[in-house]
Amino acid sequence: MVRKHLFPTLTFLLALSVISAEAGPGTRTGTAGASELLIPVGARDIAMGGAVVATTSGIDGLFWNPASMAKMQSSASVYVSHMSYLAGIGVDYGAVGARFEGLGCLALSLKSLSIGQIPVTTTTNPDGTGQNFTPQYFTVGLSYSRKLSDRIAVGFTTNLITERLGEVSATGVAFTVGVCYDNLALINGLSLAVAIRNVGPQMRFDGSGLLALGSVNGQNRPPQYYAIQSAPFELPSSFEFGLGYKTPLGEDNAILLTGDYQSNNFSNDEYKLGVEYTYQDLFAVRGGYALSQNATPNSEYLFGPSFGAGIHSALGSIDITVDYAFRATKLFENQHTIAVKLGF
């Protein structure tokens, strides 16, 4: 069963690597659009520094690797989380998924940003008009994953992106694909995975906010509104490769070690390390660190070490998991994430 799917899967992994060469390390930090796609979700995985592309599992791993959903233990799952992000921005995330016999796993997810009200300013009223607007950022994802064998899982996510800033808006679509191989080389607990995230066409803002009143010299016609065409922007795509190893420590304890390399199209590449200790699948303590390539103490890389913990319990036929993550941040307040997962 494993050999049947091994060659096409390895071929697919090679194809992903070739595609990712176009998204190698770049120096265009801040020039991509739809940056909300980069905001991580999943308290467990954030606590491990995001070094989880090969070791995340279940519906809470959709952001990192959609193939992880094929490894969820329950028939259906619901996941909700809230994170305090940079500059007082709140990030709310929710997902629901289910396993369908003979088909695979399907999931629907939603991520939204709570930015608050911003004063409206114009060239004639630079201090504000007295009005306010509320930016709206939503990402709706539809994911599919399935196991090709007892070791190999694949997954695919299509994200619909909508952004609205006052009287202008943009809509786009981004694709994420991932593959995970467990028990690599017949070594129990050793996992390998790759994921390509946020690949899609360029986006462009449009709307009545881009109308400008103007007149044409020498023409006998009143002033009219003309549409200003905004420049398109690309999506912040990335390629990630990861390895993980989980081993038992006696009968009740286990430890997971994991590491990732992430190549970003619009920023420096990243190296991530994570660790998780679990006791009887009831309690877990986690830590992680992500390092940006060429980063210095005075560089633009904002994030430091991360830590977290989680508890898991069964209430009748429902599995309940509560996770918390802390991530240190430069220049801004440190980030806190709380998440709850229900399995049915």
Q: What is the mean pLDDT of residues 21-31?
A: 52
Side-chain half-sphere exposure of 237, counting CA atoms within 13 A: 22
Q: Look at phi and psi of residue 289 and say left if phi exceeds 0, alpha if psi is from -120 to 50, else beta.
A: beta
Looking at residue 267, the DSSP 8-state letter turns out to be S
Q: What are 43-57's pLDDT values in tens digits?
A: 999 999 999 999 999
User: Of residues 25 and 85, which shows the higher confidence score?
Assistant: 85
- pTM for this structure? 0.85
For 29, the 3-state DSSP assignment is: coil
Domain count, the chain: 1
Domain at 7, CATH number: 2.40.160.40
Q: What are 172-209's pLDDT values in tens digits?
A: 999 999 999 999 888 999 999 999 999 999 999 998 88
Rounded to whole angstroms, how far apart are CA atoms 163 and 133? Answer: 13
Residue matched to tokens 């990630």: 240
Q: What are 100-110's pLDDT values in tens digits?
A: 988 999 999 99
Cβ density class 218-250: b for 16+ within 10 Å, e for less: eeeeeeeeeeeeeeebbbbbbbbbbbbbbeeee
Identify the pLDDT of residue 18.
Answer: 38
Question: Structural domain of residue 153, as residue ranges?
Answer: 2-44+53-343
Amino acid at 186: L
Q: What are 215-226's pLDDT values in tens digits?
A: 877 777 788 888
| Residue 246 pLDDT level (bands cut at 50, 70, 90) | very high
Q: Where are the beta strands (DSSP E) in 250-334?
A: 253-264, 270-279, 283-292, 303-315, 318-329
